Structure 1
């Protein structure tokens, strides 16, 4: 039975430890994930600020280029004839070299088109701009001296310059064009410079690509940073040009800056969701053997020109920043913390089990000691009863001689008194013997003698007990009665002799064995409400261990019985025991 209890206790402890570890693991994982998410969000905001500052610097540098192109246009206007027919390609070639631009082209309006009419680039003349949107419309507005529509680029007096863009006649080249017309010529002056020689060099030193690369190299867990055009992601917008075939405008690219190699099926939906809701979107995913964390941050620019347009050529003021980090860092931190926790829990578990084992051994030894004392008392009480009986038989002859002498001396009064006392003592012994159980009888006889020595009025009323074959063991019943009687004696010894009273009533029926022990207790109501049956609880001072009533309860519980304490009156405390048979 005890082994089963130990196994159950150990199983419960192990189950609790397992549940605790599992809950801690999940909570720690959630905390680390939330911390990683917050860290990536803070990093994203820092990247956003860095990218925006760098992009604004690039935009400002591009604006300076546009102003230079306008100055080149004015210089070219003074150097050229106002009639385009009187200007040659050779003049433009020589002029572009002097003004340090890539090329200069002159645009002429026809009945239904605006053509690249003269140019220092021999591939340019004769090219139509009718299909160039919105360039063609802006050219018309310049020639009509109208205020042209706001679009991506720089607008100055009589001048407009678009962003760096892929050439329509040579898709391998990226240029920035400037268009100037003040009404004094019959053509638009169009100087332009290459990206590599101007803006490209700036971006290599302090541009967005440089910032992105530096951040990835410095970040321990950063894998990729990219900037997306949410309106054209993921395929972009492609145009078919007769001269160069399929071409994508730079301002309509799906990926504007950064690196995009770790692709997921969720990317398209996440970009659209972040852009549409203006909220951060993130998810975790395993790509091959790599576990990654992706975050998509919508960025709304405060600048008037972000050089991004949608699929219809309309300017946009926002984009989506993508950050990819290595999720395995979380798992490494989690494994490290869990290992440390496991060691701590293991040490605490060993310490707890050791303390529990020591406590259980101490408790068991205390119980065994109490049982040993009870058995020793039981043996002594049996011997005491037998000694009393033998003493009565041994003194029988003396009693007879005394009676004979009193009769011869006609001492009738003395004879009556002597025989009354003698028969009372014998009757008491016979009543005890008639209980029906020698062991219980011996216990009661011993307690009567003890009560006489303590000046305690101890009265008993017991029916016949036939415990054999009924489940209740005599030794256990003696332990119950002995502890209850000793507890009552200890309590009444606190009071004067005339207040020391203990009453024992016992009976046995067909189905139940019942004992009621009542003793004097001037604080009965308060004491009855105390946890009297808990191990270690005691109202006595000194060497008492508080095990007597606890042993009573454990024995009664083992027989599925009941034990309780209650106050009959303010000065009477009773204990009742009922054991089913």
Structure 2
């Protein structure tokens, strides 16, 4: 039985430890994941700032190219005749080479069109611009007002307008930046232009794409970075020319910086959600066999300017930054931390079990020691009782001889007194033997000896005691009796010998066990008003801990019993303990 209790206690401790550690494990896992997500978001914000600075640098470099195109336009106009009819294509080719441009074209206004009238590129000659929206509108504004106010991307300087780098309408394999100058001194618009090579070289060295390459290269978990146009993503915008050529517009590219190779069917929806809600959106998914973690971060550039438009050609004031991370790397970091956590859990669990084992062992040893001491006391008291019985039997012949001698001498009075004393001692011993519970009988026997040494008249009477059906453990009953008797003896010794009277009765029925002890107490009526059952309270003047009656009360409460105190006439106090069976 004790082994089963021990195993049950250990099992409960192990289960509690496992539950606690499991909860701690998953809570820590969640905390680590949130910390890593926060770290990724911080990295994303840092990249956003760095990339935005690089993008702004590229935009400023493009603006500088526009200023140089304006300067080239003015130089061209000064070198040419103000009448376009007197200008030759050979002159434009010569100026092109001197100014380091790709080509120079002159635009002439006709009644219903603006055409490419002279050019250093023969393929440009005679091309109509009527379908070039919004370029055609900008050309008309230059001819009319010498200023462009069209709501589109571009660089407005005095008598000059330049659009962003864009795919050529006459050669869709080329990307150029054109400048348009007209100050009214001639009958044509000067149009110098330069290829994307210069801008591309700058961006490769210091621009956004270089920053993206370095960021991906030096970060183990980053797989891909994309600057996404949320309005044209994922297919972009294309124009079909009458000659059948398909023109992709540079300013309407779906991905205008970075790469986009790790694709998910949810990307379009998530990009749109991030752009419209202005909130970051994330996605965990397996793509091409890789467990990836995507972050879509909206970026606002309202006050910074940006060469990007929606599908209708309207300039935009924001884009979406996409970062794709290898979640396997993140998971490896988590697993490494979880391994450390697992070792800690194992060590803590082992220590907890060791402490529990030591505690249980100490408890068992303390309990066994208490049981052993109780048993030894019980054996000693039983031996004392048997010794008293053997002593009575040993002295029986002497008692008979004494009685015989008193009878022969006709000393009737002395004979009566002697036999009365003898029969009282025998009756008391028989009463002790008849208690029915050896442990209680042994306790009473030891208390009788204690009473004799203190000249206390100790009378006790028990009826119906049954060791198996007492309603409480014998050890607890003995604790109650021992504390009550000691308390009564302590009070009785305060009075003269003839008043030292203590009476103990015990009665067991089918419903309850009742123990009553009475002793002399001159101040009984006042004493019963005191908190006698409170731990630490004592009416004694010498050093007492005041625990005896408190222990009696706690044991009675343990068995749902009661303890009552009454003051009886003739200066007597009684304690009554009732324990239900």
For the aligned pair, the TM-score class normalised by the smaller chain equals 0.7 to 0.9
How does 1:33-72 map onto structure 2 within 5 Å?
Answer: 33-72=33-72
Taking a change above 3 Å as real, the CA distance of residues 178 and 338 of structure 1, as seen in their structure-2 partners, is same
Q: What TM-score does the superposition give when structure 2 sets the normalisation length?
A: 0.85
Tell me whether 1:96 sits opposite 2:96 in the alignment.
yes
Which runs of 5 or more structure 1 residues have no equivalent in the other structure?
A: 533-538
Contact 1:58 1:202 in 2 (8 A): yes
Alignment counterpart, residue 497 of structure 1, candidates 493, 498, 503: 493
Tell me whether 1:360 sits opposite 2:360 in the alignment.
yes
Aligned to 1:129: 129
How does 1:165-314 map onto structure 2 within 5 Å?
Answer: 165-196=166-197, 198-243=198-243, 245-301=245-301, 303-314=303-314
Contact 2:274 2:320 in 1 (8 A): yes
Distance in structure 1 (CA, Å) of the matches to 2:309 and 2:378: 103
Contact 1:159 1:180 in 2 (8 A): yes
Higher mean displacement: 305-314 or 31-40: 31-40
Aligned to 1:453: 453
Taking a change above 3 Å as real, the CA distance of residues 454 and 166 of structure 1, as seen in their structure-2 partners, is farther
* Equivalent pairs, count: 559
Taking a change above 3 Å as real, the CA distance of residues 395 and 248 of structure 1, as seen in their structure-2 partners, is same
SS at match of 1:498: coil
Q: CA RMSD in A?
A: 3.6
How does 1:423-502 map onto structure 2 within 5 Å?
Answer: 423-436=423-436, 440-453=440-453, 458-467=458-467, 478-488=474-484, 497-498=493-494
Taking a change above 3 Å as real, the CA distance of residues 220 and 575 of structure 1, as seen in their structure-2 partners, is farther
Distance in structure 2 (CA, Å) of the matches to 1:276 and 1:572: 89
Distance in structure 2 (CA, Å) of the matches to 1:501 and 1:212: 103
Higher mean displacement: 340-349 or 306-315: 340-349
Contact 1:145 1:183 in 2 (8 A): no
Contact 2:29 2:338 in 1 (8 A): no
Taking a change above 3 Å as real, the CA distance of residues 376 and 48 of structure 1, as seen in their structure-2 partners, is closer
Aligned to 1:316: 316
C-alpha distance after superposition, 1:254-278 (max 9, x if no partner): 1110122222233222211221121
Distance in structure 2 (CA, Å) of the matches to 1:368 and 1:214: 74
Distance in structure 1 (CA, Å) of the matches to 2:155 and 2:425: 130
CA deviation after TM superposition for structure 1 residue 62, in Å: 1.3
Distance in structure 1 (CA, Å) of the matches to 2:240 and 2:446: 119
Distance in structure 2 (CA, Å) of the matches to 1:101 and 1:456: 132
C-alpha distance after superposition, 1:513-549 (max 9, x if no partner): 45466899989976735599xxxxxx869xx9x9x97
Aligned to 1:74: 74
Taking a change above 3 Å as real, the CA distance of residues 486 and 43 of structure 1, as seen in their structure-2 partners, is same
Aligned to 1:151: 152
CA deviation after TM superposition for structure 1 residue 303, in Å: 4.0
Taking a change above 3 Å as real, the CA distance of residues 50 and 341 of structure 1, as seen in their structure-2 partners, is closer
Aligned to 1:528: 533
CA deviation after TM superposition for structure 1 residue 579, in Å: 5.9
Distance in structure 1 (CA, Å) of the matches to 2:505 and 2:289: 82
Aligned to 1:536: none
Contact 1:310 1:316 in 2 (8 A): yes
Distance in structure 2 (CA, Å) of the matches to 1:457 and 1:92: 143
Distance in structure 1 (CA, Å) of the matches to 2:28 and 2:438: 67
Taking a change above 3 Å as real, the CA distance of residues 466 and 71 of structure 1, as seen in their structure-2 partners, is closer
Q: What TM-score does the superposition give when structure 1 sets the normalisation length?
A: 0.85
CA deviation after TM superposition for structure 1 residue 512, in Å: 4.2
C-alpha distance after superposition, 1:97-130 (max 9, x if no partner): 1221100111222232222222111211122222
Contact 2:306 2:316 in 1 (8 A): yes
SS at match of 1:160: strand
CA deviation after TM superposition for structure 1 residue 250, in Å: 0.9
Distance in structure 2 (CA, Å) of the matches to 1:573 and 1:353: 50
SS at match of 1:199: helix
SS at match of 1:123: helix
Taking a change above 3 Å as real, the CA distance of residues 305 and 478 of structure 1, as seen in their structure-2 partners, is closer
CA deviation after TM superposition for structure 1 residue 304, in Å: 4.8
Taking a change above 3 Å as real, the CA distance of residues 232 and 305 of structure 1, as seen in their structure-2 partners, is same
C-alpha distance after superposition, 1:176-196 (max 9, x if no partner): 000111222222111100110
Contact 1:525 1:567 in 2 (8 A): no
Distance in structure 1 (CA, Å) of the matches to 2:134 and 2:219: 41
CA deviation after TM superposition for structure 1 residue 451, in Å: 3.5
Taking a change above 3 Å as real, the CA distance of residues 314 and 518 of structure 1, as seen in their structure-2 partners, is farther
Taking a change above 3 Å as real, the CA distance of residues 573 and 102 of structure 1, as seen in their structure-2 partners, is farther
Distance in structure 1 (CA, Å) of the matches to 2:393 and 2:5: 51
Tell me whether 1:562 sits opposite 2:559 in the alignment.
yes
Distance in structure 2 (CA, Å) of the matches to 1:277 and 1:48: 18
Distance in structure 2 (CA, Å) of the matches to 1:513 and 1:341: 58
Distance in structure 2 (CA, Å) of the matches to 1:329 and 1:431: 87
Distance in structure 1 (CA, Å) of the matches to 2:436 and 2:563: 29
SS at match of 2:297: strand
